[in-house]
Amino acid sequence: MTSTSQGSGGKPLSIGILGTGSYLPGHVVTNDEVGAPAGVDDEWITRKTGIRTRRWAKPDEAASDLAVIAGRAALERAGITAAELSLILVATSTPDEPHAPTATAVAHQLDAPPQAAAFDVNSLCSGFVFSLAMAEHSLLAAGGGHALVIGSDVYSRVLNPADRRTTPLLGDGAGAAVLGPVGEGRGIVATRLLSFGAQRDLTRIPAGGSRIPASVRTVEDGLHYFTMDGRGVRAFVMENVPSAIRKFLDDIGLPAGELDHLVPHQANGRMLEELQQELGIPTARMHTTVDRYGNTAAASVPITLDAAVRSGAIRPGETVLLAGFGGGMAAGFALLRW
C-alpha cells in the first residue's frame, strides 16, 4: 500500500523515520544457563538456532519500562520532545497487564500530552511493522505531526523453562522509531500487511484470556506458557514470506537488485539463512542481531534497525526493507528510502 498527502505549500508529504533507539536489559543469559532446564546444551542451541546469548529483564522490569528507555533514545536522536508527539504506538504481545494499554504507561512516563493518542498493537512478531504502517497513514491523513512507534516484549515471563522449542529462542528488549515529515524522495515508500488467521494456532498462550480464563488449574497445567509449533512456523515462513516479499517489491516497481538493506524479524538464525537464500537478493545486506539478543518478538525489527543505523551501515538515499513475520500468523513489510 502506498500513500500520499499534501504538506505545506501543496507539496506531497512524505513520512519517514527521524530517529531510532533501543534498549536491551543488562542480564545476559547464556546457552548453558537457558539450556540446562530444557535438557539441551550450547552446541545444540547454536546449531539449531544460531543464538549464543539473549537478554532477560530484571524482576522489576516490564514491557513499558523497556519501551520508555528505547523511546527516549529515539526521541533524542530525532531531535524532538514527547510534547511534540501526536501518536504513540506500542507493539507488544507481553503487555504490562491485560488492562490498561501499555502505551498509556509509556506516554505517562515520557510526559507526553493528552493529545498524543496512545494504544497497543498486538500483531506479535510483525507488530512493529504493522504499527509503523498505521502511524504513517495517520500522519499522512493529519497532514503532518510526529509519532513514536515502539516494539517491546518481555517473553521471559511466559516461557516454560523445560520447553526446548521456545525458551532458548526468546529474549527481552525494546526498539523504537520516531516518524515525521521528511524531504522529497525520502521516507516510507510503501507498506503491506498480511494476516493468515487459519494458522493462528501455530503459536499460542492458551490461557489468561476470555476463552480460557486464568485459574489455579490453568497454572497447574502450564497453560499460561508460550507454546509454538516450531516446524509449522518454519514451514509457514518459507512457504509464504519469500514469495510475499518478491511480490511486494514487484508491485511497487523496485527491482530486487536495487534493494540495499534487509532488516528481517530475528526469528531464528538458521531460518534467516534459509530466507536469505530463498529470496535471492545478493546485493542486499541482511542485518541480524539474533546471535546475541535472540528472538525479541515485536522488538526485533526496530532493535536490529537501530543497531544498523548506529553502526553507520545505512546511508542516506539507500533502500531499506523492514520485514516482520511470525505468530498470528502475520507478515508486514515496509520499504523505506533512507
Q: Which domain holds residue 78?
A: 1-338
How many CB atoms neighbour CB 97 within 10 A?
11
Nine-digit cell string for 287? 542485518
- pLDDT tens by residue, the chain, 338 residues: 444 455 555 567 999 999 999 999 999 999 999 999 999 999 999 999 999 999 999 999 999 999 999 999 999 999 999 999 999 999 999 999 998 999 999 999 999 999 999 999 999 999 999 999 999 999 999 999 999 999 999 999 999 999 999 999 999 999 999 999 999 889 999 999 999 999 999 999 899 999 999 999 999 999 999 999 989 999 999 999 999 999 999 999 998 889 999 999 999 999 999 999 899 887 789 999 999 999 999 999 999 999 999 999 999 999 999 999 999 899 999 999 99
CA distance 139 to 152: 22
Q: Grid coordinates standing for 12? A: 506531497
CA distance 189 to 337: 7
Pick the closest to residue 53 from 39, 67, 42, 62 (CA basis).
42
Q: For the residues of 273-328, what is the DSSP string, one character each?
A: HHHHHHHT-TTSEEP--HHHH-B-GGGHHHHHHHHHHHTT-S-TT-EEEEEEEETT
- Which of 31, 146, 261, 265 is an active site residue? 265
Look at residue 6 in the predicted model and tell me its pLDDT.
Answer: 54
What is the predicted pLDDT for the residue at 256?
Answer: 81
Angle, vertex CA 327, rays to CA 212 and CA 176, nearest 5: 110
Can you give the pLDDT at residue 1?
42
109 Cβ contact partners less than 8 Å away, ≥ 6 residues apart: 64, 68
How far is 40 from 149, CA to CA, in rounded Å? 36
Inter-residue long-range contacts of 282-290, CB under 8 Å, 24+ positions, other chains counted: 282/257, 283/256, 283/257, 283/258, 283/259, 284/256, 284/259, 284/260, 284/321, 285/260, 285/261, 285/313, 286/261, 286/262, 287/261, 287/262, 287/263, 287/313, 288/264, 290/49, 290/50, 290/51, 290/266
Q: In angstroms, rounded to a whole number, what is the distance separating the alpha carbons of residues 152 and 330?
A: 17
Is 295 marked active-site? Answer: yes
pLDDT of residue 7: 52
**The Cα angle at residue 211 between residues 156 and 214, in degrees rounded to 5:** 50
Distance, CA of 265 to CA of 176 (rounded, Å):
14
Q: What is the pLDDT of residue 264?
A: 97
Answer for the pair 147, 139: CB distance below 8 angstroms, yes or no.
Answer: yes
Check which CATH number belongs to the domain holding 82 and give it.
Answer: 3.40.47.10
125 catalytically annotated: yes
Question: Cα torsion for 241, 242, 248, 250, to the nearest 10°?
Answer: -170
Q: Supply the pLDDT for residue 2.
A: 43
pLDDT at residue 336 in the model: 98
Alpha-carbon distance of 303 to 288, in angstroms, equals 10
Is 99 designated active site? Answer: no
Please give the pLDDT value at position 3.
47
Region of 314 (left: φ > 0; alpha: ψ -120 to 50; beta: rest) is beta
Quick check: 319 and 187 in contact, CB under 8 A?
no
Confidence at residue 141, expressed as pLDDT on a 0 to 100 scale: 96
Maximum CA pair distance of the chain?
Answer: 64
- Residue 24 and residue 303 in contact, taking contact as beta carbons nearer than 8 Å: yes
Considering its fold, how many domains does the chain have in total? 1
Catalytic residue, chosen from 31, 125, 146, 268, is: 125
